[in-house]
């Protein structure tokens, strides 16, 4: 009889279209699903860590419905896997590849240590449409700019989606498992968890339902409405894609089928899905994008670090309604509209002249759809320091952007209680979610703007020109 295979789940919490799981089952023996709270996972920000816990709980239930289990263990991943292999007699460990630098370094170490012990250690695709090294320029290099990347992949075939297994062969005896509640993955969310939970759609079934609803009601209007802050024009699949509760390949095929049916927004949706792959392509080839200015010439730019202004930005107290609305939306829902992300990032890095890493870190703590590649690419794009970035001199004016994308002030009033005579639940939930130490109440007067928009813009441009002349 074939000995057991350990399958190490990370950001691939699904059964359908799972190439790694299919390969593990094909080995023929029992498959033991494992999730590890390793030191890397321990450092996740508050919201993604909470969301991960919910995703793991849901996935464990899906496995149980198949007669399987999710074994939870805490500790160094290589040591945990080696110990589990010894306990269960497993001879192989399989997992789905990730390409952010922290995961890559960990996984390379795990692979080497397991192989040293004579175990089969195999990584699989599944997190992306196309593995980053398989998309090459004519010269054999990697892409730095999105449009040619898109042209290179748009007619490629990512392969057919794989069906979910009908059953997972179980071992004769299950190894012991930690209890998820003992891990308290939501502890750092404090008062916010219940509030964010009302907005999250957790697990594979919820992800699929969300995709189906978007295909039915959203995709046709996607290109026209995706920038509107006041309308539900996007899929909201980010949180599910981030944990692999739906495969990006399933989204690709759904968008392709919609294109064939003539749905007008389908190609735009496909392009956005490909932005996600592009972010991972960049992270794989230039891992410094997550930590340092992608363009070295930005080193030495006089960005400020943490400050009173940055704190007011984080708390939605800049006095600029669309910025505050977006920051509060993120605190209450764990997500933020894409256009709003662009606006708050531009405002922080340009009007407040604050280092993009201050914003990147705050998003890392607050987003349930946090993704190391998309977050880094988004911040460096907004700051102007990235590969395919908005030029620094193109500074969004939050007021005119708000008029264009929130013409009746619906978004701003939904999230900023101080702007309404009778604030709604979402606006008030913000005050229930934030730490009491922030001492925020909806009856406090709305603050005056932190900076005059025109002066802030001029200050940023002056600093930019001075920096360019110096370097």
Measured from the CB of residue 223, what is the shortest distance to ligand FAD in angstroms? 10
What's the CA gap between 13 and 203, in Å, rounded? 8
Q: Is 365 annotated as a binding residue?
A: no
What's the 3-state SS for the chain? CCCCEEEEECCCCCCCCCHHHHHHHHCCCCEEEEEEECHHHHCCCHHHHHHHHHHHHHHHHHHHHCCCCCEEEECCHHHHHHHHHHHHCCCEEEEECCCCHHHHHHHHHHHHHHHHCCCEEEEECCCCCCCHHHCCCCCCCCCCCHHHHHHHHCCCCCCCCCCCCCCCCCCCCCCCCCCHHHHCCCHHHCCHHHHHHCCCCCCHHHHHHHHHHHHHHHHHHHHHHCCCCCCCCCCCCHHHHHCCCCCHHHHHHHHHHHHHCCCCCHHHHHHHHHHHHHHHHHHHHCHHHHCCCCCHHHCCCCCECCCHHHHHHHCCCCCCHHHHHHHHHHHHHCCCCHHHHHHHHHHHHHHCCECHHHHHHHHHHHCCCCCHHHHHHHHHHHHCCCCCCCCCCCCCCHHHHHHHHCCCCHHHHHHCHHHCCCCCHHHHHHHHHCCHHHCCCCCCCCCCCCCCHHHHHHHHHHHHHHHHHHC
**Taking the C-alpha atoms of 176, 179, 182 and 185 in order, what is their torsion angle to the nearest 10 degrees?**
120
Measured from the CB of residue 148, what is the shortest distance to ligand FAD in angstroms? 17
Q: Is 269 annotated as a binding residue?
A: yes
Taking the least distance from each CB to ligand FAD, the nearer of 81 and 266 is 266
Measured from the CB of residue 382, what is the shortest distance to ligand FAD in angstroms? 5
Taking the least distance from each CB to ligand FAD, the nearer of 301 and 431 is 301
Nearest CA-CA partner of 29 in 7, 2, 56: 2
Longest Cα–Cα distance of the chain, Å, equals 74
Q: Is 464 annotated as a binding residue?
A: no
> Under the rule (CB under 6 A), what is the footprint of ligand FAD?
226, 234-238, 241-242, 272-273, 275-276, 279, 338, 341-342, 345, 363, 367, 369-371, 374-375, 378-379, 382
Taking the least distance from each CB to ligand FAD, the nearer of 363 and 392 is 363
Angle among Cα 164, 63, 235 to the nearest 5 degrees reads 60
Measured from the CB of residue 202, what is the shortest distance to ligand FAD in angstroms? 15
Q: Is 294 annotated as a binding residue?
A: no
Q: Is 107 annotated as a binding residue?
A: no
First to last CA, the chain: 67
Measured from the CB of residue 93, what is the shortest distance to ligand FAD in angstroms? 28
Tokens encoding 466:
């001075």
What's the CA gap between 17 and 245, in Å, rounded? 10
Taking the least distance from each CB to ligand FAD, the nearer of 35 and 252 is 252
Q: Is residue 88 a contact partner of residue 206, using CB atoms and an 8 Å limit?
A: no
Site of tokens 């991943």? 77
Cα 274 to chain centroid distance, Å, stands at 14
Taking the least distance from each CB to ligand FAD, the nearer of 374 and 414 is 374
Taking the least distance from each CB to ligand FAD, the nearer of 76 and 272 is 272
Q: Which residues does the annotation place in the binding site?
A: 222, 269, 369-371
Q: Which residues does the annotation place in the binding site for FAD?
A: 222, 269, 369-371
């Amino acid at each position: 009889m074939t000995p057991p295979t350990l399958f190490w789940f990370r950001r691939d919490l699904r059964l359908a279209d799972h190439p790694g799981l299919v390969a593990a089952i094909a080995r023929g023996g029992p498959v033991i699903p494992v999730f590890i709270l390793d030191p890397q996972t321990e450092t996740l920000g508050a919201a993604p860590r909470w969301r991960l816990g919910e995703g793991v709980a849901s996935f464990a239930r899906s496995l149980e419905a198949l007669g399987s289990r999710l074994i939870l263990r805490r500790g160094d991943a290589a040591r945990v896997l080696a110990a589990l292999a010894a306990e269960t007699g497993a001879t192989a460990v399989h997992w789905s590849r990730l390409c952010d630098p922290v995961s890559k370094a960990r996984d390379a170490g795990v692979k080497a240590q397991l192989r040293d012990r004579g175990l089969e250690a195999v990584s699989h695709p599944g997190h992306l449409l196309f593995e980053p090294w398989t998309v090459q320029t004519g010269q054999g290099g990697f892409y730095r700019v999105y449009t040619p990347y898109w042209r290179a992949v748009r007619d490629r075939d990512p392969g057919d989606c794989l069906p979910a297994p009908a059953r997972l062969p179980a071992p004769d005896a299950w190894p012991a498992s930690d209890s998820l509640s003992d891990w308290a993955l939501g502890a750092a969310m404090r008062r916010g968890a219940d509030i964010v939970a009302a907005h999250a759609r957790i697990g594979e079934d919820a992800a699929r339902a969300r995709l189906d609803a978007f295909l039915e009601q959203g995709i046709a209007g996607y290109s026209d409405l995706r920038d509107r802050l006041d309308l539900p024009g996007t899929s909201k699949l980010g949180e599910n894609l981030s944990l692999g509760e739906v495969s990006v390949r399933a989204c690709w095929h759904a968008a392709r089928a919609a294109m064939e049916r003539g749905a007008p927004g389908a190609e735009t949706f496909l392009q956005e899905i490909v932005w996600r792959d592009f972010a991972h392509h960049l992270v794989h080839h230039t891992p410094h994008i997550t930590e340092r200015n992608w363009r070295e010439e930005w080193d030495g730019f006089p960005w400020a670090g943490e400050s009173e202004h940055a704190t007011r930005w984080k708390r939605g107290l800049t006095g600029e309604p669309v910025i505050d609305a977006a920051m509060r939306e993120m605190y209450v829902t764990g997500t933020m509209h894409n256009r709003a992300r662009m606006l708050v990032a531009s405002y922080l890095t340009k009007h407040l002249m604050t280092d993009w890493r201050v914003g990147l870190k705050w998003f890392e703590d607050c987003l349930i759809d946090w993704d190391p590649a998309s977050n880094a690419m988004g911040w460096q794009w907004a700051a102007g320091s990235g590969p395919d970035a908005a030029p620094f001199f193109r500074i969004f004016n939050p007021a005119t952007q708000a008029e264009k994308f929130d013409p009746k002030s619906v978004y701003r009033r939904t999230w900023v209680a101080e702007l309404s005579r009778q604030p709604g639940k979402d606006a008030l939930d913000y005050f229930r979610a934030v730490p009491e130490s922030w001492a925020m109440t909806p009856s406090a007067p709305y603050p005056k703007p932190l900076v005059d928009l025109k002066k802030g813009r001029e200050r940023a441009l002056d600093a930019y020109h001075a920096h360019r002349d110096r370097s």
